[in-house]
Amino acid sequence: MKIIADENIPALDPLFGHLGKIIRLPGRQMSPEHLVDADLLLVRSITSVNAELLQGSSVSFVGTATIGTDHVDQVALTEQGIHFASAPGCNADAVAEYVISALLHLAEEAAFSLLDKVVGIVGVGNVGSRLARRLGALGVKLLLCDPPKVDADPLLAHSFVSLEYLMAHADVVTLHTPLTHEGSHPTYHLVNQHNLACLKTDAILINAGRGPVVDNQALLAFSQQRSDVTLVLDVWEEEPLVNRDLAKRVKIATPHIAGYSLEGKIRGTWMLYQAYCRKANLPVSVSIDDILPRPEVRSMYLSESVSLLTPVKLMYDPYRDDRVFRNSLSHLEAKQKAQFDQLRKNYPVRREFSALQLSGSDRLDQFNALGFSVSETY
């Protein structure tokens, strides 16, 4: 069996190596010629999987090691009898932790308490629901917006607010929707010049979902008029090309790596392995614990007065990614685009909060709410 895979997908050998020959390729460079005699195609979000790519191929299984599926033409796959699988929720914890880390860093810089802020979450799926659960357990007041959920179950209407209400009343607006162009609630340019104007004074706007959910030109014009609003962007409308003028006005700017925890990436590959085993009626002989390495730092004893940011910064500091990313934007356009992909390909190991066990502090309940493992004994 021949397996074509994005070169950035981890743990391919222990999960798929025994099934056939693996050929790794850059995700943006995959072509029909590569797939002529292939059986499996494993991709990430940068590869557009459509009828053109699959024309003349022998592929019978396509898997994307991502939450989002807007880069896959599932209708075309169904028409060709190709089985499809994705990895919903694989990196949801990592994205939630990106948002939490960004907020705690901003809170320290601006001397505010996250517990005093109203956080509005737009899109309460795998990522949004986990972020809401963690922040809610911490005691943060939440506003939730997800019209498709309300359409599916009108009894939930009392738990959600409209986008207009959320934009006008939340101190923090964080976006976690899929990218859709059709249907009752398309998300393309969901945030635009009209509702940006509704943002509160000193609001924080975060997009760690899909770039085109925010009209980047409208956001640039808005930011030039409203310097009070803090922007955190991990995704960009035309990535790998990044609007440099907009990036200059963004407080924390990163190259689509919010979900790039080691656990999230390996979990995505493992979910595709499970899906293929089900399709091929094979036993699942490898567990995720078999391939997930032990973290370099496994425990930390905290003082009583420790801040929430201290262990969070140890696990993930978004400013490290921000600094490297901004340096890449100094290159000419072609090299800048290549650098965007290189930063993702060579992303350093980042572990999720749960990999670190905390003890000693009287704030262990709060750290546990954020997602850390805790122990009452040292």
> How many alpha carbons lie under 13 Å from residue 370 in its C-beta half-sphere?
31
Give the pLDDT mean for 181-192. Answer: 96
Domains 2-86+261-291 and 299-374 share a fold: no
C-alpha dihedral over 233, 235, 240, 241, to 10 degrees? Answer: -50
Task: Give residue 305's pLDDT.
Answer: 85
pLDDT digits (tens, 9 = 90+) for 214-246: 999 999 999 999 999 999 999 999 999 999 999
Give the pLDDT mean for 304-317. Answer: 95
Which of 44, 130, 237, 239 is catalytic? The answer is 239
- Report d(CA 244, CA 330) in Å as an integer: 9
pLDDT digits (tens, 9 = 90+) for 91-145: 999 999 999 999 999 999 999 999 999 999 999 999 999 999 999 999 999 999 9
- Amino acid 267 reads R
Whether this prediction's pTM lies above 0.85 is answered by: yes
Exposure string (b/e) for 340-369, b if CB count within 10 Å is 16 or more? bbebbeebeebbbbbbbbbbbbebbebbbb
Domain ranges of the chain: 2-86+261-291, 92-253, 299-374
pLDDT digits (tens, 9 = 90+) for 252-272: 999 999 999 999 999 999 999
| Catalytic residue flag (residue 239) | yes
pLDDT digits (tens, 9 = 90+) for 22-33: 999 999 999 999
Give the pLDDT mean for 276-287. Answer: 95
| Catalytic residue flag (residue 256) | yes
Specify the CATH number of the domain 92-253.
Answer: 3.40.50.720
| Catalytic residue flag (residue 18) | no
Which of 44, 176, 256, 344 is catalytic? The answer is 256
Task: Give residue 42's pLDDT.
Answer: 98
Structure tokens at 257: 């790596």
Q: Before 240, cis peptide (omega within 30)?
A: yes
In CATH, the architecture of 2-86+261-291 is 3-Layer(aba) Sandwich (3.40)
DSSP string, 191-260: B-HHHHTTPPTT-EEEE-S-GGGB-HHHHHHHHHH-TTSEEEES--TTTTS--HHHHHT-SEE-SS-TT-
The CATH T-level fold of domain 299-374 is Ribosomal Protein S8; Chain: A, domain 1 (3.30.1370)
Task: Give residue 376's pLDDT.
Answer: 81
Which of 105, 134, 176, 210 is catalytic? The answer is 210
Task: Give residue 378's pLDDT.
Answer: 56
Structure tokens at 225: 């008029």
Give the pLDDT mean for 59-76. Answer: 95
Contact 38, 57 (CB under 8 A): yes
Torsion angles phi and psi, residue 178, rounded to 5: -70, 170
Helix (H), strand (E), coil (C) string for 258-278: CCCCHHHHHHHHHHHHHHHHH
- Compute the residue count for the chain: 378
